[in-house]
């Protein structure tokens, strides 16, 4: 016979914890004799026992016979996999439970988390890249010296137009992973975590580009209809792998070249710095997409065909739009030129030509990494939106 002395502790101030602890070590039907000096113990004990499915025998000594409610509550409970590995398919019945948790049956199934297959969702690089992302978050207030640069008005206008373009692109890059976050089964928590950092990264980029645009008091530039149409096709892509491919491999991949261009040709240190910080984040997004899509096409032989089809669909949808607006293109030229001297403009023009070649090379290189042939990569890179993202 077990015994428990509750001392002066009452059931109304925590004694049930001691009772629970003692009873949890007993099998249903086994008894524990209870002693204690709290004045209300005599009638609180049976109340508590009744509410917990135990039997109370008034004694003396007062005795509780362990019921089977606690063990029945966990009848049929299963572990949601193991903490250190992911399963091939995470069932909806695990709900929001932590990976490895003991899941009581009967809870509501997880609704809407339809991306639950390892082949589609998981990436071996996710834990490492999530850790890098978490460690690499920077504070816009302190990471950048926000001293206004005092550029000539027309050069400043070119910077502002470029920032206006970047902001809407980063907004699209925020919206796309945010749309998929709730659809990814939380079992794949490092993927969810990585995408959450990606969303946070893009929010920060929107912030710093906005702040740079307004740094010298200029009104923002033009948001071209063609550019927005291109971005809308990214936001509208319903399939996770396709969206990741179009956004992160091709779009953000191209942006790595653009941000590198901005660092190299920026007419002021603030523009160079925001481009540099954003580029580090974007490189991580590209690495993640390449990692998870590389595994996806390995597991799913038709995966490459589907990615290519998504690219072709997007190209067809955009065939009647203007692509990169002239305002953005010309701003990049002026920004690289740094002055209105004809020779400088010529150099700026050439720099933007180089940028587009660099983007194309980067896209082809990444497509080859995903297992496309050189010829396929060349064709596919040419189908990518002229709006860069």
Partner 1 sequence: MSDTIVLGAVAYDPKVVTIWDGFRAWLRQRGCDMDYVLYSNYERQVEDLVARRLSVAWNSPLAWVRARRLDPSAQAVLMRDTDRDLTSVVVVRSDSPVNDVAELAGRVVGTGAIDSPQATLIPLDLMGELPISVRRFDVGIGLHGDHIGGERDAARALAAGEIDAACMIDANHLRFAAEGILPAGSTRVIAQTPLYDHCNMTALGGSSPALEQFTALLLGMDYADATARPLLDLEGLTRWVPGRTSGYEPLESAVDRAGFYDRKGEVTADEYRP
Binding site for partner 1 (CB under 8 A): 10-13, 39-40, 43-44, 46-48, 50-51, 53, 67-69, 72-73, 75-76, 104-106
CB of 56 to partner 1, least distance (A): 8
Element containing residue 64 per DSSP (H, E): strand 63-65
Decide whether 49 or 377 has the Cβ nearer to partner 1: 49
CB of 42 to partner 1, least distance (A): 8
To which residue do tokens 């003396």 refer? 60
3-state secondary structure of 180: helix
CB of 235 to partner 1, least distance (A): 39
CB of 71 to partner 1, least distance (A): 8
Decide whether 24 or 72 has the Cβ nearer to partner 1: 72
The Cα 16–Cα 163 span in angstroms is 62
Q: In this structure, what are the phi and psi dihedrals at residue 89, rounded to the nearest 5 degrees?
A: -145, 125
The Cα 140–Cα 279 span in angstroms is 14
- Cβ atoms of 179 and 234 within 8 Å: the answer is no
CB of 16 to partner 1, least distance (A): 9
Element containing residue 31 per DSSP (H, E): strand 31-35
Decide whether 55 or 128 has the Cβ nearer to partner 1: 55
Measured at the CA of 103, the angle between CA 98 and CA 109, to 5 degrees, comes to: 85
CB of 6 to partner 1, least distance (A): 13
- Cβ atoms of 247 and 282 within 8 Å: the answer is no
CB of 39 to partner 1, least distance (A): 7
Element containing residue 284 per DSSP (H, E): helix 269-299
Nearest-CA neighbor of 198 among 105, 285, 98?
285
3-state secondary structure of 321: coil
Decide whether 41 or 277 has the Cβ nearer to partner 1: 41
Decide whether 48 or 122 has the Cβ nearer to partner 1: 48
CB of 107 to partner 1, least distance (A): 8
Decide whether 67 or 100 has the Cβ nearer to partner 1: 67
Decide whether 110 or 324 has the Cβ nearer to partner 1: 110
- Cβ atoms of 362 and 259 within 8 Å: the answer is no
How many helices and strands, by DSSP H and E, does the chain display?
Answer: 16, 6
Decide whether 48 or 288 has the Cβ nearer to partner 1: 48
CB of 53 to partner 1, least distance (A): 4
Decide whether 105 or 353 has the Cβ nearer to partner 1: 105
DSSP state of 182: T
Please report, to the nearest 10 degrees, the dihedral formed by the alpha carbons of residues 88, 91, 92, 97 taken in order. -90
3-state secondary structure of 2: strand
Nearest-CA neighbor of 162 among 346, 348, 365?
348
């Amino acid at each position: 016979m077990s015994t428990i002395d509750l001392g002066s502790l009452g059931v109304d101030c925590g004694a049930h914890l001691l009772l629970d602890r003692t009873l949890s070590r007993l099998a249903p039907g086994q008894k524990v004799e209870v002693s204690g000096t709290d004045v209300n113990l005599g009638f609180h004990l049976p109340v508590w026992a009744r509410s917990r499915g135990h039997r109370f025998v008034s004694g003396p000594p007062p005795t509780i016979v362990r019921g089977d409610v606690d063990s029945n509550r966990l009848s049929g409970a299963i572990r949601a996999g193991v903490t250190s590995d992911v399963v091939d398919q995470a069932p909806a019945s695990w709900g929001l439970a932590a990976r490895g948790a003991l899941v009581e049956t009967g809870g509501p199934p997880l609704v809407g988390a339809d991306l639950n297959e390892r082949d589609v969702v998981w990436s071996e690089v996710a834990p490492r890249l999530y850790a890098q992302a978490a460690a690499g978050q920077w504070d816009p207030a302190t990471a950048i010296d926000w001293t206004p640069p005092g550029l000539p008005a027309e050069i400043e206008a070119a910077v502002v137009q470029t920032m206006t373009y970047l902001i809407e692109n980063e907004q699209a890059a925020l919206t796309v992973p945010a749309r998929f976050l709730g659809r990814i089964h939380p079992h794949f928590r490092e993927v969810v975590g990585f995408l959450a950092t990606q969303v946070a990264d893009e929010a920060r980029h929107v912030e710093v580009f906005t702040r740079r645009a307004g740094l010298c008091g200029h009104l923002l530039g033009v948001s071209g209809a063609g550019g927005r149409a291109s971005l809308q096709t990214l936001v509208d892509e319903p399939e996770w792998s396709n969206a990741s491919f179009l956004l992160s491999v091709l779009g953000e991949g191209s942006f790595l070249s653009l941000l590198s261009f901005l660092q190299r040709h920026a007419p002021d240190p603030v523009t160079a710095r925001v481009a540099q910080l954003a580029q580090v984040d974007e490189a991580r997004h590209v690495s993640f997409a390449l990692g998870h899509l590389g595994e996806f096409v390995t597991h799913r032989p038709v995966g490459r065909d589907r990615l290519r089809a998504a690219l072709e669909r997007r190209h067809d949808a955009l065939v009647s739009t203007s692509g990169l607006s002239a305002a953005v293109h010309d701003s990049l030229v002026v920004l690289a030129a740094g002055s209105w001297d004809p020779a400088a403009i010529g150099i700026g023009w050439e720099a933007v030509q180089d940028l587009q070649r660099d983007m194309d090379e980067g896209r082809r290189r990444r497509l080859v990494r995903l297992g496309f042939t050189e010829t396929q990569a060349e064709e596919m890179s040419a189908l990518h939106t002229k709006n860069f993202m």
